[in-house]
Every structure is written in C-alpha cells, then in structure tokens.
Structure 1
Amino acid sequence: MLKQLFRKKKLEDVLAVIDKQEHKLEKKLGWFDLTALGIGAIIGTGIFVLTGTAAAGGANHIGAGPALSVSFVITGIACALAALCYAEFASMMPISGSAYTYSYAAFGEVVAWIIGWCLVLEYAIGNIAVAVGWSGYFVDLLRGFDIHLPAWMITDYVTAGHRFAYGTETLIIDTAPKVAGIPIVVNFPAIFINVVVYGLLLIGIKESSRANMMIVVLKLSMVLLFIAVGAAYVKPEFWGHDWNSFAPNGFNGIMTGAALIFFAYIGFDAISTAAEETINPGRDLPRGIIISLAVVTVLYVVVTVVLTGMVDYRTLNVPEPVSFALRSVNADWAAGIISAGAVISITSVLIVFGLGQPRIFYAMSRDGLLPKSLSKVHPKFHTPHVATLITGCFVAFFSGFIDVGQAAELTNIGTLAAFVLVSLGVLVKRYTDPGMHRPFRTPMVHVTAVASALASGYIAYNLPSITWKMFWIWLVVGLTIYFLYGYRKSKLRG
C-alpha cells in the first residue's frame, strides 16, 4: 500500500496528456498576458488593506513601523526564491495543475493530493477573503454617493456574531430579518462579485484575460497616482532619525510585518495554472512569473516608503490606509480615486484566483482522483466549465458568511505548504530526472530551493496556532476523501 501511495507520474506521461484532443484547452496566452495575470493576482487586498496594520501594529501583533519597506523586501525575496522554483517546474511541465502536478511527478500521488487539497485553501478560500475585502471597499464607494445598504446585507455572520457578543455593535443582529427566530446576516456584495467573476470565467480565458488586462492598467495607474501625489507630501521625519525610530520594534517587528504582508504576495503562482493555455510555455511562463513578481515588489516598496513618509505610522491601523493617508494631507480628490481603484484592483485578484482553482480540480479529475465530470471542457468556450461552476458556487456561498481574517490565515498556510513542497520538488527532480529538458533552470538550485523551503516554512511557523489546528482538520478531511475515492479511482492504480 505504501508503494501505491507514493506512485509517481512519469514526466513523459504528464506531457502526453496535452496531446489528447478531448482534454485540450485552447492556447491563447503570451508572456504579456501572463505578466498581467500575475500583477492582477498579486496587487490587491494586501497592499490596500494590510499595509496599515503591518506598520502600526494591532491588538495581537507588533508593527514594523517605517521599516515595513524592509519587510516587503524580505517577503519579496522569499517569494522570488519560490518563483524561481515554480518557473523551472512550469517550463518542464506546461500543464494545468500547478504545484499539484509538479508534486505528482516529484513525490508521488498522496503528496500531490495533499498539495492539491492545500491549493483549495489558496485559490478558493483565498477568493473568499478577497471577495469580503472587495465588499468593504465597494460599500465605502457607495457611501460616497450617499447610498447606504442595511448592515445585515454587508456583514458576514461571524463578524456580526463577534460584534454582538462583545457588545461593540448589536444593531446588525437586532435589525436583521429573521427566519424561525434566526437572524439573516449575509455579505451580499461578496456573493454578487463572485457570481459575476465566475460567470466571466465560464465564457473563456481570453475574454477574462482581456478584462483582467484592462483592470491591471487601471490598477497600476492608481498605484502610480498615489506615489506621485503622496511623494509631494512626504516628510522625512516620519521615517525616523535613527534605526530605533525607523524600526521601533526591531527585527521582531520587521519579521512580524513580513509574515502579515505575505498575503500581499500571494498570486504569482497562479500563472502556472494556465500553462496549457500558453502559446510558448517554456519561454513565457518563467518570464511571466519573474517579471510580475519583480514589478510588484518594486511598487510595494515605493508605496510603503511614501505611505510611511506621509503620516505617523502609528495612525495607519485603519482598513483603508492608502486613502487615509491621502485624506490626512487633504488630498481628498485622490483618495476618492484610490478608493475606486481598490475596488478595481481587488476584482482582478478575484479573476486570477478564480482562474486557478477550477484548473486544479481539472488536473486532479483528469488523473482520476476526482470525478471525471470535473475535467470536462466546454465545446464552445474551451473552459473547464463544470469545475468552474462548482468552484464558483462554493466560493460565492461561503463568501457571504465567513470572516475575512479566518479566510486569509487559511489561505496563507495552504499557499506556504505548496511553496515548501514545490521548492523541494525541484531539487528532487534534479536527481531523479537529471536529463529532463528544462527550458528554464533554477539558478544555484541547491541553495535556492533549500532557502525557499526554509523561508516559507519559517513564515508558516509564525502563523497563529488556531490556523494550524484548522489546517490539520482540513488535511484529515482531504485525506479521508482521497482514501474513499481518489486512491481507488486513480489512473495509476494497478
């Protein structure tokens, strides 16, 4: 049985699947499309929401202060190491499935299942967190037009319950309509945006890629607008006069900030899930991954430097730190534009995450680990429509009820688990398949892969204990499904 659990897919078998007509996805994407997908996935909730609390600190964590820019560099380096490993695998195996497919070839079936199950946390649960964040900015935007939705329509049940329990806000529960005495509290905007996004993804990847391209252009314009306007209001004294004032909580504060803003980098690996729809994957996948990550890291550092130079970092523990900083210097016109830009930015993240998860299910189904219907391709749109529809229904439903904090933490741990195994997998394949054609090779692989695994593991180690408990429960559920279905139905069995 142990041998069957770790049965591996041969690389030639992985690549041969692409040539089967019934499994084909349409090749439409170039390196520029992939770079836009990466930027669209990465820039969003993290930079617009988490920078404030990471700099100022919160009830349960210390802040990095003006040294948050250093935190972004550290996290960017850690993600760059993982990106180099992803790029080698993506060029070797240009097939849908991302880390799942890579792990199948490197470690075997049960590890691949675990990674595929973890990727549900990154893409599906991640999209729940992003949708809730989108809802918050959308509601703020409506308020700017004097449109006010009832509190019970814009709040998830968990948040409403916490506020009611602690007495901070009882109005939500009191005013909500009730069915059989149970208050109905649902985040309807979060559900709405997911219905729109997954409907778009059902139509076709090129159409969604074009929409994402327009959103990315607008998003970058908003970020550059903030940098240009904010730079005029920078006061160097806000950065501090020495190391102690620049990094008020020392290295611990910097590393805490790095752990918090990890969510801001999630998304670059989603590029590799579109491998089969890429015209020249050996060349364009590594380019798309590395270029998007480099562009985003530079923008993050510059935004953080400007942000912490505009206002005292201790005032930034607010949900909308970028707009808050602009309003603090009376640049209200720019703050309004940035708020609208945040809605647009987060929408593009939803598109890319929504693109990723159905293609993970598609790959797992094609291997027999999930029902065959999940690998069906629509005859007209050439998309995995069944997997997309099921994922969309799941994400849309739970985004109306789940707290953004819980979803974000689970997203982090699922993503980090994938990073660790992909990094180690690259090293393993160098020994087990040294002659395999590699259009892109991870430089100094022995150092890069180990450093990537250690960095991702360290960040995961610093996540809250409750997140780890939920993660282990998630794994138990996933392994139960595997042994009841996937283990018996696997195409490698026998």
Structure 2
Amino acid sequence: MTHLLIDAKSSNNCKVDILLDSKHQSLNLFNKVEAELTLRTAEEAEKNSVEKVCKGPQPLDQPKIQLEHDASKRVLSCTKTFIKRLIARKPMEILQAEIDTRNELRRDLNWIQLLAIGLGCTIGAGIFVLSGQAAAKYSGPSVIISFIITGVIALLSSLSYSELGAMMPSSGSVYTYTYAAMGEYLAWFIGWNSALLHLFSVLTAIVTWSKYVVLFIDNVSNYNIKNMFVQAPVAWNEDEERFIITGQAINLLAIALTIAITILLIIRIYQMAIVNLVLVVFKIIIIIIFIFACCKYVNRNNYYSFFPPNKGSFSEYGVTGMLKGCTYVFFAYTGFESVSTVAQEAKLPERSLPIAIIGSTIISLLLYIVLCTVMVELVPYKLLDSDNPLSEAIKTTLYGLWLSIVMNLGAIASLTTVALTDMLSQTRIFYAMAHDGLLPSFFAEIHRITTTPWISIIISGIFCAVFSGVCPVDILGETSSISALITYIFVHIALIIMRYTHGDIQRIFQVPFGSWLIPTIGSSLCILLMRGITKPTVFRFLVWTALGQIIYFSYGFWHSKQRKSIKSASISSVTELLPTIASITEQYTQNELESDLASENSENAV
C-alpha cells in the first residue's frame, strides 16, 4: 500500500513537472515574442526619428491625423460599395428562374403574330413621311443608298437581338440583356432610353396618322376639317433651331387614336395581335400596289445627279448629305426590337424570336429599297419635301385620285400598327423594370382577367395623349434615331460580353462569324451614324437622360431587388459565421479553464 501511494505521488509529481515545463516553455515563448516586438518597435522608432531629422521639425497632431485617416477609409469604403452596387449584374441563374416561374403574362403569340408585330412596328412614318423629306433636304436620289446602309446596320443589330432574345426571352429586351452583362446602372440607362425610343415613335406615328386622316377625308369628301383641331400649337423651325407658335389649338385626332390604342392594349394581347396582323397584311398589299402601279411611269432623268453637289455644309447633298440621310431615315428601321419585348408572351420564344426579328428586318429592307427607287424616279427629288411624299409622286401617274386614296388608307393602317406595337413595347419594358424594383411596383401590376400590365398602359396612354396633342412630328423622329443607335450599340456590346462570361450557356441561335466580328462592325457603324445627329437632338436626349438619373437615384437605387438580395446575402453570411465564432470562443474559454485548473493542481501538489 505504501508503495502504491509512493507511485501515485511520483506520478502526480511527474504530471506537475510536465505542467511546469509546459508553463515555462510558454513563458519562454512569450518572452521571446515580447522581446522581438520590443526590438521591432525600437527599430521603427529609430527609423521614424531619422526621417523626422531629415525632414526637419514638423508639428504633429496625432489624433487629427488618425481621424482624417479613418474618414478617408470610410469614404473609400462607401465609394467602393456604391460602385459595386452600380455594376452589380443579375445572375443568369436568377434571371432564368424568373423567366421560368413568372407566368403572369399569357403565352399566346406564335411566330406569325410575332413577325407581324415586328413589321407593324417597323413599316410606318419612316417610309411614308421621312423618306421623301430625306431625299429633298439631304440625300437626293442617293436616299436609296441611305436606306441600304441603314438597312444593313439594322440587320446586324437584329442578329445580336436574336441571339440575346433567344437566350434571355424576357419582356425587358435590351434592359434585361444589359442587366445580365453590364450591371444595374447601365441597364437602367439603356432601359430608360429604350422607353424614350418607343414613346417618341408612338408620338411620331400618331401625329403623322392625324395628317393622313385629314388628307383622306379631304380626298373622299368636300368636308374641310379645321386646322385648329388637327395641328400642334408649336412647330420646330430647323433653320433657326427653335420652336415657333403655329396659332393652332390642339391635335384632337391624335388624342383620339391614343385613347383607342390604350383601350385595345388593356384587352388581352391575343386580340391586339389579331388586329395588328390584319392591318400589317393590308398595308403591305398597299405598298405592293403602289410599286407595281407606278413602276411604268418612272422617269430615269430624275436620277440625274444621283449625288447632288454639296451646298457647302455637311448635311446638304453630296456624299455627306447621303450620310446625314442615313441618320434621318434610320428611324424607319426601328421596330424589329419590339418583338423581343413580348418574349414572355410568345410560344417557343427560343425559336420564334429569331425568325420574327430577322424576318421583319429583311422584309422591311426589301420593301424600302424598291419603294424608294420608284418614288425618286417618279418626280424630281426636291418636290418630295412633304408630309405625304408618296401622294406627291402619284400625281405624275394617270391613276391620280383613287391611288392617292388607297395610299392614304395604307399609311393610316401602317401608322396605326406602329403606334400600337410601340406602346405595347414601352409598357413591357416598364413592366420588367418595375419587376426588378427600379420603378414603382404598380407598373408591374397585372390585371387578373386580361393578364396585361393595365396601370402601365394607362399611364403611357395619358402621356402619349397629352404630348401627341402638342408636339410636332419633325423633332420626334430624329430623337428616336439617336436613342435607337445607342440602344443597338449596347446590344452589340452585351452580346460580346455574354459570349465570354457565359459561353457555356446553350444557344439555339448564334450570330455567325465568331464572338466579336458582327457586333464590332455593327456597333462601329452605329457610332458613325451618330455623327449626323444635330445638337438640338443631342440636347433633348440629354434632358431625357438627366430625368432618368433623377428617378434612378431617388427611387430605383433604393428599391432595387438586386440591392436587397445583396444586402440579405451579406446578412446571411454574417449570421452563418456567428456559430463558428461562438464555437471558437467556447473552445478558447474551455482551454483557459483547463489551464487554470492544471496550475492550481500543480501548486497544491507542490
């Protein structure tokens, strides 16, 4: 028994020795670290003193410097966070999940109806009004070349739209593509300016429509509508670059058409698509009738001086005038992108969107070239400076009044489809932006019976009714052109980025000739066309953009769902770390207690 006690005591003494040795080793290690830190502190102090001697005596306010340093760090941190928020992209996983699960809008449209929407939005005021004005003011007979160049540019853009639309079939169109490729801020910028494109296209079509209605009534009857109720109270004087008072009251016909379109859009999109399809078929038949009826009356002498001599300025005839004409008539091709705004209402959008987008662009291009060729051969180009250039051209034929009436009907049908489809597109873009939180949620409110964004449609209808009653048509077309060019540039850039960042995603349709060739050529040509934009047009565009910045930073930035998801993810990350931190703290406390207990036991044993 005594031996056992001695052995136990010896064992305890050994444990105490081990603990003491461990403690001594820890103290030695601590002393070494403390000595090393002291040495480094002394070296840094000596270094600082040498620097002070070299620089000379300087007053030092350490607390103030520390506060300034902390403030600078906070400003830098806030700036980084702010920039990260602006360039935050919507992940493709979230975007695809939204497209798959968001079934508020009914998928009623087939590829024929989509093609009709593209043609309905494209063929309108650009060919019935701007073609003759471009020939008379800028290009002369070379307006044909202007239409070919702009048609090629539009075709390149339609290829990029087709790939992105098939990959991301969302109602946001270019807004959604930019959000996924370049981040929220640029998505807002291009979405807001895409809305400008469609709104001004609606206004241009409606105002021009009212003029053709007046002409039609004048041709078929002796009733003369008072100009006071069919013209805007202001007009744009291009020579003086300022607005002038016309002495008229308001354009009641434009307001009436806007109300009718608003009501039709609130009804189910299927009924709207049927109406649009009928009107599109009718206007294409009218254009074909004009081409075949007038082609035998052409006078090739009107081709003389295909490029009229330049008058001394960039925009008056010659090659530069032809380029100016490109900018002016580019508005005629804006519209094919409307197909992408109804992607969430299309059956099999991955296949039907490319067919409709590219098909509508090619058909429009062919019709424009043939129609312009016949028009400039019928009469001298200077006689085409009219709001109704095709009627001026018809005067040289034997068909006279009846063909003019038919063409007026075609123009009325054409401009109706443009206004209808453009307002449709604008409301769908606002719907997508509101769904992401960048606009108030009522823009995304869907009617439970008609399944249309009815509040957004009503607001757009009120806006168009007011402005179509007071705005002249000539300033609206060019403003739409600059917005379209910038929109197409963004689409090309978004395609290049998505090819490199999401190259693994399956694409049913791909732009040919590699990842960057077509988009680079297309965006470069769009930039070249922007040279012909006038300063007043740029000013109006900048005013609209500034208004968009105010809305974004006062509302969209703070209500963005993407911002809220990022914030929630950050909170979740911190929450996930809390158990780990608690576990580490608990383990550390337990180790401290064991160390203290071992120390007490060793002291008692001694």
Q: How does 1:461-472 map to 2 (within 5 A)?
A: 461-472=531-542
Contact 1:128-1:399 within 8 A present in 2 as well:
yes
Q: Equivalent residues in 2 for 1:48-447 (5 A)? A: 48-57=128-137, 63-144=138-219, 145-159=221-235, 173=247, 185-240=249-304, 249-332=317-400, 333-444=402-513, 445-447=515-517
Q: Residues of 2 paired with 1:463 and 1:315: CA distance?
A: 24
Higher relative contact order (CA 8 A, sep 6+): 1
Question: Does the 8 A contact of 1:239 with 1:245 survive in 2?
Answer: no
Match of 2:550? 480
Q: Point out where structure 1 has 5 or more consecutive residues left out of the alignment.
A: 58-62, 177-184
How far apart, in 1, do the equivalents of 2:172 and 2:226 lie?
41
- Partner residue in 1 for 2:50: none
- State the distance in 1 between where 2:223 and 2:180 align: 53
Q: Distance between the aligned counterparts of 1:296 and 1:244, measured in 2?
A: 24
1:24 paired residue number: 104
Asked if 2 retains the 8 angstrom alpha-carbon contact of 1:361 and 1:370, the reply is: yes
Q: Does 1:489 align with 2:553?
A: no
Return the TM-score normalized by structure 2: 0.75
Q: Verify the 8 A CA contact 1:420 1:453 in the aligned structure 2.
A: yes
**SS at the partner of 1:268?**
coil
The one-letter code of the counterpart of 1:492 is Q
Q: Which moved more, 1:92-101 or 1:120-129?
A: 120-129
Report deviation, 1:244.
5.3
Which one-letter code corresponds to 1:366 in the other structure? H
- 2:83 paired residue number: 2
Q: Which residue of 1 aligns with 2:93?
A: 12
Q: Report the RMSD for the aligned CA atoms in angstroms.
A: 2.0
SS at match of 1:29: coil
Q: Deviation per CA, 1:208-257, whole angstroms, max 9, x where unpaired?
A: 110000001110011001101111111222223x7656999432232122
Shift of 1:273: 0.1
| SS of residue paired to 2:437 | coil
CA contact (8 A) 2:323 2:532 kept: no
Cα distance between partner residues in 2 of 1:463 and 1:147: 40
In 1, Cα distance between equivalents of 2:139 and 2:106: 45
Return the alpha-carbon distance in structure 2 between the equivalents of residues 302 and 409 of structure 1. 23
For the residues of structure 2 that align with 1:414 and 1:186, how far apart are their CA atoms? 27
Structure 2 SS opposite 1:425: helix
Structure 2: distance between partners of 1:105 and 1:310: 49
Q: Distance in 1 between matches of 2:202 and 2:388?
A: 19
Question: What is the CA–CA distance in structure 1 between the aligned matches of 2:98 and 2:475, rounded to whole Å?
Answer: 37
Residue by residue, what CA displacement relative to the aligned partner does 1:397-425 show, whole Å, maximum 9, x if unpaired?
Answer: 11101121222222112221111111111
> What is the letter of the counterpart of residue 156 of structure 1?
A
- Equivalent AA in structure 1 for residue 89 of structure 2: K
Is the CA contact (8 Å cut-off) linking 2:204 and 2:477 kept in structure 1?
A: yes
Give 3-state SS (helix, strand or coil) of 1:330's partner.
coil
Deviates more, 1:214-223 or 1:433-442: 433-442
Match of 2:604 in 1: none
2:443 partner letter: L
**CA–CA distance in 2 between the matches of 1:108 and 1:216?**
37
Deviation at 1:272, TM superposition (A): 0.3
Instruction: Kindly provide the amino acid, as one letter, of the partner of residue 284 in structure 2.
Output: L
Is 1:121–1:411's contact at 8 Å kept on the other side of the alignment?
Answer: yes
Tell me by how many angstroms 1:150 deviates: 2.1
C-alpha contact (below 8 Å) 2:181/2:497 kept by paired residues: yes
Further displaced range: 471-480 or 225-234? 471-480
Unaligned 5+ runs, structure 2: 1-81, 311-315, 568-606
Asked whether the equivalents of residues 362 and 387 of structure 1 are also in contact (C-alpha less than 8 Å), the reply is yes
Alpha-carbon offset, residue 204 of structure 1: 1.5
- Helix, strand or coil at the partner of 2:385: coil
1:116 positional shift: 1.1
Alpha-carbon separation, structure 2, partners of 1:148 and 1:227: 30
Question: Once the two structures are superposed, what CA deviation does each residue of 1:74-103 show, in whole Å capped at 9, x if it has no partner?
Answer: 000011111111111100001101111111
- The answer to whether the 8 Å contact 1:15/1:95 transfers is no
Match of 1:64, SS? helix
Percent of counterpart pairs with the same letter? 34
Whether the 8 Å CA contact 1:215–1:344 is kept in 2: the answer is: yes
Name the TM-score, length of structure 1 as normaliser.
Answer: 0.92
Q: After the TM superposition, list the runs of 4 or more consecutive aligned residues in structure 1 that deviate by more than 4 angstroms.
A: 242-248
1:181 paired residue number:
none
Query: Which amino acid letter does the alignment assign opposite residue 336 of structure 1?
Result: I
Return the alpha-carbon distance in structure 2 between the equivalents of residues 477 and 298 of structure 1. 38
Residue aligned with 2:439, SS = coil
Distance 1:8 1:337, change over 3 A: same
